[in-house]
Amino acid sequence: MVKRALGLEKKNENSRKQLLDFKIALEEAAIVSILDTNEKITFVNKQFCKASQYSKEELLGQTYKITYSGYHTPEFFKEIKNMLTSGETWRGEINNKAKDGSFYWLKSVIIPVLNEEKEITSYIQVATDITEAKNKEELLLESDKEKSKTIEMQLEELKSVDKQKDEFVAMMSHELKTPITPIKIYSSSLRRPKWLGELNENQKKAVDAIHFNVLRLEKIVGDLLDAQKLELGKMKFEKKEIKVDELMDMMTKNLISQTEEKGCQLINHTTEKNTIKSDASRLAQVLTNLINNSIDFIPKDVGKIEINAQKSDNGLLFSVKDNGIGMSLETQKKLFKKFFQTDTSIKRKHGGTGLGLAICKGIVEALGGKIWMESQEGKGSDFYFTIPEEETK
Amino acid sequence: MKILIVDDDVEITKAVRDVVKMAGHDFQSSNDPRDGLKLIREQDQDMVFLDLSMPEFSGIDIIKNLAKDGKIKEKKIVVLTASAVGDEELDGLVELGIHSFLKKPVDIDAILDKIDEIGSS
């Protein structure tokens, strides 16, 4: 019995020592306070006084509201109270106000202490000061906000510049078109001997050059305008029934002389008689662009361009194949982008704005189709595009 | 035929006028839209080439005025337009009673064909 009592005493002694150790550890490391069930402060440690700048005397008997900062909503405290009164431990971060009015942040654990009857007798709060980390966090948040604000402003600015650019291009194209009209009319007039008199051979050549170049200029301005319209979704399409074989015949007729000038062949393989509902002049524009493109890149005298239009699973399939210089995979990837040309030397050699294929893509896609190409360097290029089933009759 | 050209651009007016002249027709021209409207109302032409985008008083205003007069169809208005004017707007003008339109930059053949078309109708 005595032995047992002695053992118990020793056990108690150990527990007490352990508790003391805890107390010292807590005193040093943590901010500790105890509230009674009326939320009045019954205990604070030195660290609590240091953080709050109040003395022990000032704090004892006060409610927790003495360090209330106004940062949190009433719901925040209600939630803490709800958890604690139902016997649960609350963990979280609380903003407090010190005696001098400055704010400090506590990372807290609040534990409800229960008696043997499982009634709550007090609340122990153990906390650490995280003000420094919190301030850094808020600074970061602030600078993030600042940054995203700047980015937003820059984006707005870019959008407005982009709009200005669109308006500028539209205005410029219009302005450029105006003087083209009289140049074109007078260069054509000069080519009519009955109107302005017979020209000698050199004069004829000069006038032909003027005429050829004004047509080129007209094409460039037209391309710019088309690209702009497609970009803004403002291109209007007039869908009518088209006899595809007749369209392909017309394309051949229109472009055969240009091909033959280069000593090359343009062969139309279209045999199927299909009717589709689409925009004939825009389809002709796509085909003209593709064929002209091929004419540029086929070798003189041995070049060959083959065109066809036939039914496929994805609607009507148009193809323009040539035995020209072809292109690398790298080039193929960028081919349908605006202003793209394989390199400046080709641009010099072949002219053009680099808008042709981008326009083709825009038109085909606006008509509901797809455009793509297959090519091998040195072996020629095959261009394909489809006009979808619902447009096919 | 007697043909009127109304365009605020002097160079275009001159060029179209010269084509009309060389094709052997009588012509009138005006670079001022209000003056142009007056000419169309007060004189008899066989056809009119009309520019759309003119400052302050546009070709569209001229057309609307003529449509109000109720005599627009007999005036045979051929609108000269740059692409700045939308296609839908052009459709609206046809409904108002213009004869047709030519897109700038027009060439001689287009002008001559249009004159022939109206002359023979």
Complex confidence, ipTM: 0.84
| Mean pLDDT of the A313-333 span | 88
Predicted local distance difference test score (pLDDT) of residue B88: 66
- The CATH superfamily of A240-391 is Histidine kinase-like ATPase, C-terminal domain (3.30.565.10)
Structural Rg of chain A based on CA atoms: 42
Q: Decide if pLDDT at A231 tops 50.
A: yes
Question: Per DSSP, what are the bridge partners of residue A320?
Answer: A307, A383
A200 secondary structure, DSSP code: P
Tokens, residue B113: 């064909």
Please report the pLDDT score of residue A392 as a whole number: 45
What pLDDT was estimated at residue A18? 73
| Domain membership of residue B35 as a residue range | 2-119
* Residue of A178, A190, A232, A282 to mutate, interface with B, max B Cβ within 10 Å: A178
Determine contact: B87 vs chain A, CB below 8 A. yes
Q: Which helix (H) or strand (E) holds B27?
A: strand B26-30
pLDDT digits (tens, 9 = 90+) for A250-285: 999 999 998 999 999 999 999 999 999 999 889 999
Provide the pLDDT confidence category of residue A340 given band limits of 50, 70 and 90.
low
- Provide, rounded to the nearest whole percent, the portion of chain A with pLDDT above 90: 40
Nearest C-alpha neighbor of A187 from the set A205, A213, A207, A216? A207
- Where, residue-wise, is CATH 3.30.450.20 in chain A? 2-129
Q: Which residue has the tokens 């193929």?
A: A332
- Closest partner residue to A182 among B14, B22, B53, by Cβ? B14
User: Does the domain formed by A2-129 have CATH 3.40.50.410?
Assistant: no
Pairing of strands A304-312, A265-268: parallel
- What is residue A16's predicted lDDT score, i.e. its pLDDT? 75
Contact (Cβ atoms closer than 8 angstroms) between residue A152 and residue A214: no
Least confident range from A16-30, A73-87, A241-255, B87-101: namely A16-30
Residues of A in contact with B83 (CB under 8 A): 173-174, 177, 225, 229
**Across chain B, what does the average pLDDT equal?**
88
pLDDT computed for residue A391 by the predictor: 46
> How much is the pLDDT for A137?
86
State what percent of residues in chain A have pLDDT above 70. Answer: 92
pLDDT of residue A308: 96
Q: Which of A303, A313, A248, A300 is nearest to A274 (CA)?
A: A248
Listed in sequence order, the DSSP H helices in A239-371 are: 244-261, 280-297, 329-334, 344-350, 356-366
pLDDT at B92: 83
The percentage of residues in chain B with a pLDDT greater than 90, rounded to a whole number, is 58
What average pLDDT score do residues A349-361 get? 76
pLDDT tens digit sequence for A78-100: 999 898 888 889 999 999 999 99
Tell me the one-letter amino acid at A302.
Answer: V
Residue, of A15 and B44, whose pLDDT is higher: B44
Q: What global pTM score does this model have?
A: 0.60
Among the ranges given (A153-157, A358-362, B102-106), the one the predictor scored with the smallest mean pLDDT: B102-106
Which of B104, B111, B113, B115 to probe by mutation at the A interface, max A CB count within 10 Å?
B104
Structure tokens at B119: 């002359």
Interatomic CA distance for residues A275 and A316, integer angstroms: 9
**Top-confidence residue, A392 or A377:** A377
Q: Amino acid identity of A54? A: Y
Q: Which amino acid belongs to residue B18?
A: D
- Tens digit of pLDDT for each residue in A173-198? 778 888 898 999 999 999 988 888 89
pLDDT of residue A393: 44
Question: How many CB atoms are located within 10 Å of the residue A53 CB?
Answer: 15
| Residue-averaged pLDDT of chain A | 86
Q: What is the pLDDT of residue A341?
A: 56
Distance of alpha carbon A320 from alpha carbon A305, whole angstroms: 7
- Residue in B with minimal Cα distance to A194: B22
Please judge whether B104 and A181 are an interchain contact, meaning their C-beta atoms are less than 8 angstroms apart.
yes
The two three-digit tokens of residue A362, written as one number: 């825009």
Length of chain A: 393
Q: Measured between alpha carbons, how far is A262 from A257 in angstroms, rounded to an integer?
A: 9
Q: In the structure, what pLDDT confidence band is assigned to residue A339 with cuts at 50, 70 and 90?
A: low
ω before A182 within 30° of 0 (cis)? no
CB A109 within 8 A of CB A121: no
Instruction: For residue B57, name the pLDDT band (cuts at 50, 70, 90).
Output: confident
CB contact under 8 A, B105 and A218: yes
Residue A182 to residue B19, Cβ atoms within 8 A: no
More confidently predicted of A372 and A332:
A372
Whether A181 and B12 lie within 8 Å, measured CB to CB: yes
- For A137-231, the fitting CATH number among 1.10.1740, 1.10.287, 1.10.3470, 1.20.1280 is 1.10.287
* The pair of three-digit structure tokens given for residue B107, joined into one six-digit string: 């060439």
Q: DSSP assignment, residue A63?
A: B
Q: Identify from B9, B108, B114, B115 which residue to disrupt to test chain A contact, counting A C-beta atoms within 10 A and taking the largest count.
A: B108
Structural domain count of chain B:
1
pLDDT for A317 beyond 90:
yes
Cβ neighbors of A268 (< 8 A, separation 6 or more) are A248, A249, A251, A252, A306, A307, A308
**Coil, strand or helix at A71:** coil
pLDDT at A172 over 60: yes
Beta bridge pairs of residue A387: A316
